[in-house]
Amino acid sequence: MLYNQPNPLEVRILSRRFGLPNSQSIDTYLANDGYKAFEKALGMSQDEIINEVKTSALRGRGGAGFPTGMKWGFVPRNSPKPKYIMVNADESEPGTCKDRLLMEYDPHQLIEGILIAGLAVGAQQGYIYIRGEYRYLITIMDRAIDEAYARGYLGDNILGRGIKFHLATHSGAGAYECGEESALLESFEGKRGNPRIRPPFPAVAGAYQCPTVLNNVETFCAVPPIILHGGEYFAGLGIPKAGGTRLVCLSGHVNKPGVYEVPLGFGMMRMINEIGGGVRNGKKLKAVIPGGSSCPLLKADECDIPMDYDSLAKAGSMLGSGGMVVMDEDTCMVKAALRIMRFYAHESCGWCIPCREGTTWLRKLLQRFHDGMGQRNDIVLIGDLSKNMLGRTFCPLGDAAALPTISIVEKFRDEFEAHLDGKPCPYEHASRLVTA
Amino acid sequence: MTFSPELEARFEKFLAKYPADRKRSAMIPMLIYAQDEVGAVTDELINEVAKRVGVTPLQVNEVVGFYSMLHKGKGMGKYHVQVCTNISCLLVGGEELYDQARHKLGIGHKEVRPDGRVSLEEVECMGACSWAPAIQINYDFYHDVTPEQLDKLLDGLMAGKTPGQIAEVQKVNP
């Protein structure tokens, strides 16, 4: 059971069916407003659907936060090519575990969102790219898709209305890079997951070089409530320019980690203290990763801000994917930087040299530093190397590796200095310092 | 190369999912499901998948090397224990669990015990951050894993039990 006890402070829109008995089944879904939004969308024009999504101020929930309605509007109407809907269910940003719940507990909500996107852009085929580790979710989604076919919500003549839409799952095989949209498309086509040069963007040349709407699972799941209750209703849940709710994955040193749905603009400290039950063992807060390991870290005194795209940008970070990692006062920030860099060095696809060489070099530097063999000018070198990756790669992985590192070096320089002159890590338990 | 009727049926379904001239899309799903049955991505499997999706074995080979879940050569053990040590798990004991598994199993990263039953891998984020520390045995998730639970799991596996027979620790996915 993944699903945690709901908190009264949550506003449960996308997660409102979580916890219902047999919530995966189409019968439960239909009994709880299921496919009503799709039926409503059948009576709307393409522009009306897209405008409703624009009104909702829904922004992409995968990490980049691009306005969804605008993205759908980029799909050319007069293209002779087939159009595709592609769902990014390659959830692998460290700290992020929300799409798992959306698929496990409410697979039909995702299918309905995809169907409405199909109507909006005139697509007749969709695919859900699910990371290979989520095998059980492929089984759940396949079963839900079969149910939707059996009840006439998918097929050549949906609900007898002459509309055609087909949907299938697609398994990945373990590669963080494939969560990047153009790498995902390459991987989908049976190739190495290297990113593509953009433009053209997927809306114009996506899957098989055809116009493609590519969004995160949570983004598609927000569409049925938007259509059913109206864009204004959804927008009103959040703050201006960022509508609705989002699923925040709380992890790390908190008393009640879990996935909680809160309105955009919810206070970060309220999230930690009132929903997360505060920092574990009565310790003090040291730092927060606000939205997955690609985001610059915030120091404890920077965390008293609302969680929305603009407030986070103003604080020098990002809302990202909703993966919020809380670190207490006993956390070694050099080690945190090292672990994050080990991840990016492992996951760099090797396509762009600044990322391929930069992440590996940084990993080695940080490892040396944490082992007590760092030199004072390494601190500057770590920052410089990171800054030299910024904006010099085809996809955002280089930036994703650089941004948290730069923030840790700048904000926690004293911790790097505490590792100098052969001193052992001040936070590491002595038993772990003995090198094997 | 012959596969079980279930896998053949799955292959057929995979190939039907994509446009007729885009069979290459089925390559990665075919490889990962076939690996579960064959035990590894062997040269024979690469040739067979290449034939079925209409590309050269070299084109399959270069793809296999990219994906961390595809294991060439002899492959991993029957029960592949994957311990996450990425940031959320690291903060709450993931690294200690990995050390514990290394010592208990006597093997390291991507190594297989001599009997071929159990293997170990230190993996990147598996999407269980709010229930950390987490491990996966093959495709099954175990959340909020304690050192005692890991001991039970590893002891059971080494004693010849299947994960399902280790009653004290249950997977969280259906």
Q: Are B25 and A189 in contact, with CB atoms under 8 Å apart? A: yes
Spell out which residues of chain A touch residue B68, defining contact as CB-CB under 8 Å. 173-175
Tokens of A278: 């505060």
Residue A263 buriedness (CB in 10 A; 0-12 / 13-18 / 19+): buried
Cα–Cα distance, A192 to A231 (Å, whole number):
39
Contact A97 B129 (CB under 8 A): yes
- The pLDDT of residue A430 is 53
pLDDT digits (tens, 9 = 90+) for B4-35: 999 999 999 999 999 999 999 999 999 999 99
The pLDDT tens digits of the residues spanning B119-146 come to: 999 999 999 999 999 999 999 999 999 9
Residue in B closest to A329 by C-alpha: B91
Extract the tokens encoding B29.
């799903």
pLDDT score, position B94: 97
| Distance in angstroms (rounded) separating the CA atoms of residues B109 and A248 | 32
CA angle centred on B111, ends B107 and B114, rounded to 5°: 75
Question: CA-CA distance, A343 to A89, in Å (whole number)?
Answer: 19
Q: What value does the mean pLDDT take over residues B92-107?
A: 97
**Run of H or E residues at A360:** helix A353-368
Q: How many CB pairs under 8 A join A and B?
A: 150
CA of A250 to nearest chain B CA: how many angstroms apart? 6
Predicted confidence band of residue A1 (pLDDT cuts 50, 70, 90) = low
pLDDT at A69: 97
pLDDT of A4 > 80? The answer is no
Helix axes B43-53, B5-17, angle to 10 degrees: 40
Nearest to A325 among B31, B87, B141 (CB): B87
Write the CA distances from A297 to A179, A390, B60, integer angstroms: 21, 16, 40
pLDDT tens, residue by residue, A316-337: 999 999 999 999 999 999 999 9
Does residue A215 contact residue A371 with C-beta atoms inside 8 Å? Answer: no
Residues 168-197 of A with CB under 8 A from B: 168, 170-176, 187-193
Q: Write down the H helix ranges in chain B.
A: 5-17, 27-38, 43-53, 57-64, 87-91, 94-105, 147-158
What region, left, alpha or beta, does residue B162 occupy, with left being phi > 0 and alpha being psi -120 to 50 degrees? beta
The residue of chain A nearest to residue B30, with distances taken between CA atoms, is A171
Give the pLDDT mean for A11-38.
96
- Residue A115, both tokens: 């169907």
- The first and second tokens of residue A108, run together, are 């039909």
Q: B65: which chain A residues are within 8 Å (Cβ-Cβ)?
A: 192
Decide if pLDDT at A104 tops 80: yes
Q: Mean pLDDT across the stretch A57-86?
A: 95
The Cα–Cα gap between A407 and A297 comes to 6
% pLDDT > 90, chain A: 92
Q: B14: nearest CA in chain A?
A: A170
Nearest-Cα residue of chain A relative to residue B58 = A191
Residues A119-173: pLDDT tens digits? 999 999 999 999 999 999 999 999 999 999 999 999 999 999 999 999 999 999 9
Write the single-letter amino acid at B103.
H
The mean per-residue pLDDT over the stretch B77-96 comes to 97
Report the pLDDT averaged over residues A59-72: 94
Q: Is A95 on the interface with B (CB under 8 A)?
A: yes
Average pLDDT for A104-125: 98
How close, in Å, is residue A416 to chain B by CA atoms? 19
pLDDT at position A436, please? 36
Q: How far apart are CA A166 and CA B87, in angstroms?
A: 38
Contact A252 B92 (CB under 8 A): yes
B window 124-163, beta carbon within 8 A of A = 124-132, 136, 139-141, 143
CB A4 within 8 A of CB A258: yes
Residues 6+ apart with CB under 8 A from A70: A54
pLDDT tops 70 at residue A432: no
DSSP letter string, A8-23:
TT---STTTTTTSTTT
By C-alpha distance, the chain A residue nearest B54 is A190
pLDDT of amino acid A242? 86
Omega prior to A200 cis, within 30 of 0: yes
Cβ proximity of A135 and A55 under 8 Å: no
Q: Do B124 and A93 touch (CB under 8 A)?
A: no
pLDDT digits (tens, 9 = 90+) for A211-243: 999 999 999 999 999 999 999 999 999 998 888
| pLDDT per residue as tens digits for the range A359-413 | 999 999 999 998 888 899 999 999 999 999 999 999 999 999 999 999 999 999 9
Query: What is the value of pTM for the model shown?
Result: 0.97
A 357-416 residues inside an 8 A Cβ radius of B: none
pLDDT the model gives residue A372: 85
User: Which residues in B lie closer than 8 A to residue A252 (C-beta atoms)?
Assistant: 87-88, 91-92, 132
Q: Is residue A108 predicted with pLDDT exceeding 90?
A: yes
Q: Which residues, numbered 317 to 336 in chain A, qualify as contacts with chain B under a Cβ-Cβ cut-off of 8 Å?
A: 323, 325, 327, 331, 335-336
Would you call B25 and A188 a contact, using CB atoms and an 8 Å cutoff? yes
All residues of chain A having their beta carbon less than 8 Å from the beta carbon of residue B70 are 173-174
Whether A252 and chain B come into contact, CB under 8 Å, resolves to yes
**Any CB–CB contact under 8 A between B9 and chain A?**
no
Would the pLDDT of A434 be above 80? no
Q: And the tokens for B62?
A: 């270069």
Structural Rg of chain B based on CA atoms: 18
Whether A9 and chain B come into contact, CB under 8 Å, resolves to: no
A positions 133-152 inside 8 Å of B (CB) = 133-136, 140
